Amino acid sequence: MKQSPFVEKYSPLWLQFEEWLKYQKAPKRLKKTLEEPDIDVPSVYRQICHHLALSRSRLYSYILIERLNQLVLSGHQVLYSHHTYFLGDVAQYFGQTFPALVRKEWKLVTLSAALFFIPFLVTLITIQYYPEMVYTIMDDSAVSSLESMYVPDSEGKIGRERGADTDVYMFGFYIKHNTGIDFQIFSGGLLFGIGTIFFLLLNGVFIGAAAGHLTHIGYIDTFWGFVAGHSSFELIAMVFAGAAGFKLAQALVSPGRKTRIRALVDNGQVAVQLLYGTATMTIMAAFIEAFWSSAGSMPVMIKYSVGISLWILVIAYFIFMGRRRYAT
């Protein structure tokens, strides 16, 4: 069959299919007013596939082939689209996938935790004996601004009393700041893990120095009372960001039997799974930090007990959650 008769014979079918595609892509509100074109989609689609194959083998013009290629491509995209159930996926993720993944990657999580908590504790304790060491880590102005942030109020209030105004401001600020640090740690993994190690150590030493110095000069209740609530979420999230970074680094350092790029693709999928939870925890930490930690009127003992309970809860969540297998 020559091209023109071919086009004329089958164009009604192509047009019908095109109408059906348009209907599928129409927004939901418009869809209700329209009537779904009455065609047997799978068989029409297969026919058009056949037409494409025919016009290729008969070497019809490029324009026609491209036209049919587009038609088949659009059909392919509608027929084989992925259907996701968002809420179900989220529940599945936090109920099972995330904690199970953390347990599965326990080696990387431990490595990351050690790289953060060991320098943190070492600096914290060292400063109790050699207080002047804080000035080798931070400069004078940083230390004094740190002190001014946590100076106990003369009226006996604990921490800083701020208006609700600043709470929202601080929430926005903490989200940006903390996710920024997490992403730094994570993407450092792509530099064979050196970036991740560096940022983990850096944060461990800095936070340790701040905590050590404030403890040493006696701002204990204002500082520890302030950080107690959100520390669990924030620090553990940082450790997970490190683990996700190491997952990328692992693909580069020891790809095993895969090529490096293939290993990177596979490990990247895992790392991103870790990152969803990390981001959620960081945002939760920012929320607690802005609205709860800064509430100065709360007795400090309550803050400590809430802080400790949250630590226990978070750790228990990662140890016990999602151990039962559900049929999918």
Question: Site residues (CB under 8 A) for another protein?
Answer: 1-5, 7-8, 11-12, 14-15, 18, 25, 45-46, 49, 52-53, 58-64, 66-67, 69-70, 72-73, 76-77, 80-82, 84, 86, 163-173, 175-176, 179, 183, 186-187, 190, 261, 264-265, 268-269, 272, 275-276
The angle subtended at Cα 150 by Cα 149 and Cα 152, nearest 5°, is 125
C-beta closer to another protein: residue 45 or 246: 45
In whole angstroms, how close is the CB of 33 to another protein at the nearest point?
A: 20
Find the largest Cα–Cα distance for the chain: 96
Query: Closest approach of Cβ 61 to another protein, in Å?
Result: 4
CB of 281 to another protein, least distance (A): 15
CB of 13 to another protein, least distance (A): 9
| CA-based nearest residue to 235, from 159, 306, 298, 307 | 307
- By beta-carbon proximity to another protein, the closer residue of 8 and 40 is 8
3-state helix, strand, coil in the chain (%, to 5): 80, 0, 20
Compare residues 18 and 221 and give the one whose CB is closer to another protein. Answer: 18
Give me the torsion for CA of 276, 277, 281, 283, rounded to 10°: 20
Shortest reach from residue 202's CB to another protein, in Å: 17
Residue number, 214 or 248, with CB nearest to another protein: 248
CA distance 278 to 86: 19
The size of the chain, in residues, is: 328
- As given in the structure block, the two tokens for residue 88 are 């179900």
| Nearest residue (CB) to another protein, 28 versus 324 | 28
Helix (H) or strand (E) holding 243, with range, is helix 220-253
* Cβ count near 124 (within 10 Å): 20
Nearer to another protein, 167 or 221 (CB): 167
Angle at 68 between CA 67 and CA 70, to 5 degrees: 70
Shortest separation between residue 207's beta carbon and another protein, angstroms: 22
Contacts 24+ apart (CB under 8 A), 181-184: 181/238, 181/241, 182/237, 182/238, 182/241, 182/278, 182/279, 182/282, 183/241
CB nearer another protein, residue 184 or residue 215: 184
Query: In the bound complex, what is the minimum distance in angstroms from residue 187's beta carbon to another protein?
Result: 5
Closest C-alpha among 203, 202, 187, 204 to residue 247: 187
Please identify, using beta-carbon distances, which residue of 76 and 258 lies nearer to another protein.
76
Q: Least separation, in Å, of the C-beta of 250 and another protein? A: 14
Which tokens is 60 given?
């019809």
